[in-house]
A and B are shown apart, each in its own frame.
Chain A
Amino acid sequence: MNSHQGEMKGDKQMNTSVLEERSKVPATLSARALSQVKNNGALWAFFLLLLINILITPNFLQIQTLYVNLTQVATVAIVAIGMTLVIASGGIDLSVGALMALAGTIAPMIFLSDFAASWPALGLVLAIVVAIAVAGLAGLFNGYLISVYKIQPIIATLILFISGRGIAQVLTNGELQTFDNPSFEFIGTGRILGVPVQAIITIVLALSIAWVIKRSIYGRFLLAVGGNEKAAELAGVPAKKIKMLTYMICGLLAGIAGLISTAINSASDANQTGQLMELDAISAAIVGGVLLTGGKAPILGAVLGAAIIQLVGYTLLANGVHDAVAMVAKAVIIIVAVYLQQVKGAK
């Protein structure tokens, strides 16, 4: 910072160092990958939890344990992916739980209808498509309020947080819809090659969205909008569209999670489906390393974050600790995760 003469000198050195840099690329890439693992506290925490469980939790190393955890973590992980995108865009989505309830309510209404009775296959497809689409539209509505009317995300999504579940409750009059539809239940309870279907759905969604974020224009634009919206807009990034799309994707993912949750229970309950999901999803996204200031979207981190939170809950439960204590534990995890993120960022 001292004098420009120093910088002039640096200029000459630069040309050579750029060349060196190029030859170093493969080496630095693998080094970066390694350092990412090293610096990834979440991954370490996850392994530590596994280790603790192997040591103290009875019957931990059984396939049943894995299934139980996978079943419970899938919906949180899927919603957390959407939440990660939204947080990366510089926002937040409180309505995800309500949208889960909405999608979870709409699907059975369709496949239980008279129409579906006569066209079962079509009815099922329609049920899934319409339910997810409604959740996606609701997400788009959030995005519209936020990008066009410039309403703060927390307030804009508060609207559907309050009314979304209300709509689901009015549709069913607040009553439980039970059903017996093996094809639909398959997405909640089925297995492919022994692997629970919802785990497969989660992994496929996570990998494909992570790939899209890394490789696509959308991903880059999303990070740009989250990092500095004014600058992005000036660079020709259609910031409004990107935000709307992001909230829509978040809504779609919440819809998918709502269907899975409904399928697992063989019943839809507008009062309970997705209750407090916004908290779990935000927690998972944060533990997964998303920056609250926007500009970073670790999708696989969100899945890992969901897994950590799930595992903490399971560890406590399996060792006979009151499950309400798990909530307190979650609270501590959130604070620690954010605190560590800030300490790291300050360096």
Chain B
Amino acid sequence: MNNVDSIDLVECDMPSMGALSQAPEVVLSMQGIDKRFAGVPALSNANLALKAGEVHAIIGQNGAGKSTLIKVLNGAHKLDEGEIHFLGEAVSYASPHHAQMAGISTIFQEVNLIAYRSVTENICLGHEPKRFGMVDWRKAHAHARETLARFGLELDVEQPLGSFNIAIQQLVAIARAVALDAKVVIMDEPTSSLDEKEKAVLFRVIKELKSSGVAILYVSHHLDELFQICDQITVMRDGKTVEQKPISAMSKLDMVAAMLGKDPAEIAKGGATNFAATGQVSDEVLFSVAHLKGAAGLKDVSFDLYKSEILGLAGLLGAGRSEVARAIFGLDHEMKSGKMHLSGQPVDFNHPSRAIAAGFGFCSEDRKEDGIIPQLSVRENLTLVLLPRIAKYGLIDEAKERQLVDEFIRHLGIKTASMEQPISQLSGGNQQKVLLARWLVTNPNILILDEPTRGIDVGAKGEIQALIRRLADDGLTVLMISSEFEELVEGADRVIVLQDGHSIQELANEQLTENAIMKAIAQ
């Protein structure tokens, strides 16, 4: 019964590239959008106009309302006030699916496809070409191949999607949108897990979409990449769309200023971060890693870690940054080789508990996945590592526990109603502080911090960065991983640059600049 539609879908002519030469029209507009959650406004009077064949970026701080705006647009949320016009008609979608069928597709940050199923299925699910009520696999495969070929991709479409890397999966998601004849494609942080090469491929595909008249709404934290790909910028702050300009009319500084609601001149004077590298490094090697090899593309990494310094690890995603940290900390032990020395003694941990006993701490990159324990309270989360040390015969000294927790809540300024509040109810920045406290309370010698400020708003970010510096000044040795070069340049004493699983360069003192890191990575 569905075959008419699906055959249409397969055989309909794709708009030929660059066919749209007349003046671009507004395909989508949002006017006066209000959205409140439990009375708290998340969007107030937000406006947006999207033209055919343009890439339109939305930028803003965490909580500025970007994702709410997208969700209102694609039907995940219902708007309270305002109007959305798509192709000249007032619309309102009941779900992202309905929006998709109407021509507004969303490509989510984590590729939201089905890894076990084939590429074809991922492109065709929900609108399979059918014959006599049955799925016509030959046609489906052909259709999938055709769609991918538009981007110059040739894949074995019968393979499970999960056997391809994340960039390909993302392109398949875009192919799905194209197969559904999308007029508007929303991309939410599409480059967050791509390396440079993969990014280039994605950008090419975006340009191709653009030239065929698709409007792209592009949400990203990475301001630099916007200049490569975007035409228009809408800046959001406090649930409002505060500025909309062609990108040619804005500098990076303008963008930051608009996001923060400040005067560009003021920002240029002061730094965004308030801690600076001392440059002083003791000459005592506390810990060294030689020819470390391990899981997921960690091939050959060597470095020395001096006492009470902050050593940064830089590199693109997939360069092996987190893998280094995990290998040191006794995770993924089966696949590890290489030598590690702590204060001159050879060490090799096969479980985090061993590393902890030797004075290590490790704040991992993904707070939600392997950081917090959501059901437990702030207190229970904070003392998880410390527990064996405040216990006798396996029983916890509760008075001592409370006292320490209280101390650290005040010391780090953790905002929580009480120490008994479930950690899941805290803001991201405060959760991160609890996790930092989890390690600090054990008084470690070496603390490994993987993306300590990711996904945290600017205020809390500055606090955490200042805290890290203070700790290093007090004698803590820190190994800090960050994908923000700025954070490394300003926060670290030295930086080791990783590329493709190898440690390729060490940068210190005046050599340590964002440009130098980028140059090293680009080698």
Contact = CB atoms under 8 A, between A and B. Distances in A.
A237 B396 contact: no
A227 B375 contact: yes
B410 A18 contact: yes
Q: Which of A7, A227, A230, A236 has the most CB of B within 10 A?
A: A236
Interface string A306-326: 000000000000000000000
A235 B384 contact: yes
Interface stretch (B181-189, B193-201, B386-394, B504-512): B386-394
Interface stretch (A79-87, A217-225, A271-279, A335-343): A217-225
A230 B372 CA distance: 10
Contacts of A228: 370, 372-374
A21 interface: yes
Contact of B351 (A14, A221, A231, A238): A238
Contacts of A8: 459
B241 to A, nearest CB: 15
Nearest to B362: A234
Given A7-B457, A230-B370, A232-B373, A217 B388 contact: yes
A217 B387 contact: yes
Contact of A234 (B40, B364, B387, B396): B364
A294 B374 CA distance: 10
Nearest to B384: A235
Interface in B361-375: 362, 364, 369-375
Interface of A: 1-5, 7-8, 10-11, 14-15, 18, 21-22, 28, 32, 215-218, 220-221, 223-224, 226-228, 230-238, 291, 293-296
B384 A224 contact: yes
Given A215-B395, A223-B380, A295-B373, 19 more contacts: A1-B427, A2-B63, A8-B459, A11-B415, A14-B415, A22-B406, A28-B420, A220-B380, A224-B384, A227-B375, A227-B376, A228-B373, A235-B352, A236-B353, A236-B356, A238-B353, A291-B375, A294-B375, A295-B375
B238 interface: yes
B409 interface: yes
B453 to A, nearest CB: 13
B283 interface: no
Nearest to B439: A235
A296 B406 contact: no
Contacts, number: 119
Contacts of A220: 380, 384, 387, 396
Contact of B238 (A2, A21, A231): A2
Q: Which of B237, B391, B427, B459 has the most CB of A within 10 A?
A: B459
B460 interface: yes
Interchain residue pairs A-B with the least CB separation, the first 5:
A4-B459, A295-B375, A227-B373, A230-B370, A1-B63
Q: Which of A7, A10, A14, A28 has the most CB of B within 10 A?
A: A7
B239 interface: yes
A141 to B, nearest CB: 22
A234 B352 contact: yes
A238 B354 CA distance: 10
A229 B459 CA distance: 31
B51 interface: no
A3 B351 CA distance: 40
Contacts of B375: 223, 226-227, 291, 293-296
Given A215-B395, A217-B391, A220-B387, A231 B352 contact: no
B395 A216 contact: yes
Given A7-B457, A10-B415, A234-B352, A217 B394 contact: yes
A193 to B, nearest CB: 30
6 contacts: A221-B387, A223-B373, A228-B370, A228-B374, A234-B370, A295-B375
Contacts of B420: 28, 32
B307 interface: no
Contacts of A230: 369-370
Contact of B394 (A3, A216, A234, A236): A216
Contact of B410 (A7, A15, A221, A226): A15
A18 B406 CA distance: 8
A235 B459 CA distance: 27
B242 interface: no
